[in-house]
Every structure is written in C-alpha cells, then in structure tokens.
Amino acid sequence: MKNLAIETVGLRKRYGSNTVLDGIDLAVPAGTVFALLGPNGAGKTTLIHILSTLTAADEGTVQVNGYNLAADPNGVRSSISLTGQFAAVDGSLTGKENLRMLCRLCGLTAAQSRARADELLAAFDLTASANKYVRTYSGGMQRRLDLALSLVTPRPVLFLDEPTTGLDAVSRRALWSIIEQLRLQGITILLTTQYLEEADELADQIAVLADGRIVATGTAEALKSRVGGEVIELRDESDDVLHAIATDGTIVDVNRALHEALTMRGMPANAKVSIRKPSMEDVFLALTNKATEVAV
C-alpha cells in the first residue's frame, strides 16, 4: 500500500442543526496533488480547517504525515503549511520585508533570512517587485507572496484553500505552474477549488464534495468516463450551445441522441452538430444531481 500523507475516516462536523461534513473518508498518497472540488458551502474550508487543526471534528479520525491529529496535533502542525482564499500578507511592508520577517520568526538567522527571502522571491517571480509595498501588488502577486510565505520552512504537506479564487487567467496559470513545481519537489498538496478546469489540470486525484459528502473520487479521466463516452452539442449561428446530450458514442446511441435533439421543439434547422468528450463541468453536474442533462 502507498504511503499516505493524509487519511481521514468517518469525519463528521455539525454546526447546530447544519451537518457540514457527513462521514468523510480520504486517502491522499504522499507526493501527489489531491483536489477537493465542490460548490460554495460544500464544506471544503471546514475540512481543510479540521485537517490543519484549526477546527475540531465531532467524529472521525485524521492522520497527517503519520501523526494522529487527536493524539499529536503538534506533530500535524509541524508537518503542514496552509494558505487561504485571502492572502495573509502585510501590505505596509515590502515583499522582501514580509519574507525576511517571517524567516526570523521561524528561527532563521539574519543572514539565513536574507538568503531564504531572496530564494523565494526568485522562485515566485517577485524579485523585480521585492522592494515595493505589498499593498501595491496585484491580487496574483499577493497570492504568490502568500504561498512563498507558507514555504519559508518547507513542510511535507501543503493545504491550499481555493488558491486561485479571484485571480485572472494569467495569474491562475502562473500559480498552477508553481503548484506543479512543488509537487515535483515531493510535497503533498491538498487543494480545494470550485474550478473544474483547475482540478482537471493539477490533480492526480479528485474528490467531489457535495452537501458534506464525497460523491465521487478518481482521476479526472475516470470521473469523466462516468458521465458517458461523448457529448453531442447543438449550436446556433453564434456558436452558442442550444442543447447538449450525453451518449455512449455508439452508432445506435448517437442516432438516438441526435433524433432526440433534432426533433426538439424550436430547434432551428440550421443548428450545427458537434460531438465532444465530457468536460469536468458535465461530471460535476451529473454527480451532484444539479442537472439531468449535461452542462451547456
């Protein structure tokens, strides 16, 4: 059996009458990226907070990096880094000052702190802005600095709570590439996201969280294959999707799906037909029963 960096069994959490987590079993192999995918309010942050000792679970067991959370929370704390949805950086300091200050707080000497800060600024492409006040940084730069701060003393397990929420496409890609580099260094990363594309791009394994339960776990490909082989789409002249239907891709089933689509009331005669693989969006909607048809 693979070495597990994170393992939970039967994790439950309630706030009053609201059951936020309802029996979560997770097994995250060391050195992999694991994505927890779920909509607003699914319980992602609550789960990350439990795993990082910030919130107590009502029931269940947690092991992180070999430490049992109930028996040895300090062992867990010494194994993890955490960054949240909002960058926890001091805007009245420069990027370099933020990093050096945290290095000193973590026990590095002044010389070591200077060296480590420079190293991290370079790794996160912030050297050119190192001496600028952080309040002048863009959202993406602040998030990169936040991640750099969480890596001042490298830990084997990194929790990223919606690391790219609110970032533009370019900053998101830049952060993805940093996360991939961290994975290559052997760090286990558990990230939460509402973006299907992000889970698809980064994660070795994805768990779909809906209403406090994991409704599916697997690779992006395995999850997509649960929806069916192909999706038939009908588009109008402006290329907007009018209708989409899942099919297993066989001639018989494609014929059925096309017949269904083409005989729909109001379908324009000049609608264009295309066939594509299911997206993570289709998977998500199918698994969370938010739609009876695939996403359009």
Contact positions with ligand ATP (CB under 6 A) in 185-214: 194
Tokens of 13: 């959490």
Q: Is 181 in the site for ligand ATP (CB under 6 A)?
A: no
CB-wise, 45 or 205, nearer to ligand ATP?
A: 45
The CA-atom distances, in angstroms, between 282 and each of 41, 96, 247, 273, 285 are 20, 43, 12, 18, 5
The answer to whether residue 42 forms part of the interface with ligand ATP (CB under 6 A) is yes
| Residue 56 lies near ligand ATP (rule: CB under 6 A) | no
The one among 8, 33, 35, 44 contacting ligand ATP by CB under 6 A: 44
End-to-end CA distance of the chain: 40
DSSP-assigned states of every residue in the chain = -PPEEEEEEEEEEEETTEEEEEEEEEEEETT-EEEEE--TTSSHHHHHHHHTTSS--SEEEEEETTEETTT-HHHHHTTEEEE-SS----TTSBHHHHHHHHHHHTT--HHHHHHHHHHHHHHTT-GGGTTSBGGGS-HHHHHHHHHHHHTSS--SEEEEESTTTT--HHHHHHHHHHHHHHHHTT-EEEEEES-HHHHHHH-SEEEEEETTEEEEEE-HHHHHHHH-SEEEEEE-TT--EEEEEEE-S-HHHHHHHHHHHHTSTT--TT-EEEEEPPPHHHHHHHHTTS-SS---
**Position 51 contacts ligand ATP (CB under 6 A):** no
Chain positions 229 to 248 lying near ligand ATP, rule: CB under 6 A, are none
Q: How far is the CB of 43 from ligand ATP (least distance, A)?
A: 4
- Measured from the CB atom, the residue of 46 and 81 that comes closer to ligand ATP is 46
* 43, 84, 95, 140: which one binds ligand ATP (CB under 6 A): 43
Identify which range of 42-50, 64-72, 104-112, 265-273 contacts ligand ATP by CB under 6 A. 42-50
Answer for which of 45, 65, 98, 279 binds ligand ATP (CB under 6 A) is: 45
Instruction: Please count the residues of this chain forming the interface with ligand ATP, following the rule CB under 6 A.
Output: 12
Residue 64 has φ and ψ, to the nearest 5°, of: -130, 125
Q: Please report whether residue 164 would count as binding ligand ATP according to CB under 6 A.
A: no
Question: Does 15 help bind ligand ATP (rule: CB under 6 A)?
Answer: yes
Site string for ligand ATP, 20-39 (x = CB under 6 A): x-----------------x-
Instruction: Decide: is 50 part of the binding site for ligand ATP (CB under 6 A).
Output: no
96 touches ligand ATP (CB under 6 A) = no
Nearer of residues 15 and 290 to ligand ATP, judged by Cβ? 15
Residue 142 interacting with ligand ATP (CB under 6 A): no
**Which span (12-20, 134-142, 218-226, 264-272) binds ligand ATP, by CB under 6 A?**
12-20
Positions touching ligand ATP (CB under 6 A) are: 15, 18, 20, 38, 40-46, 194
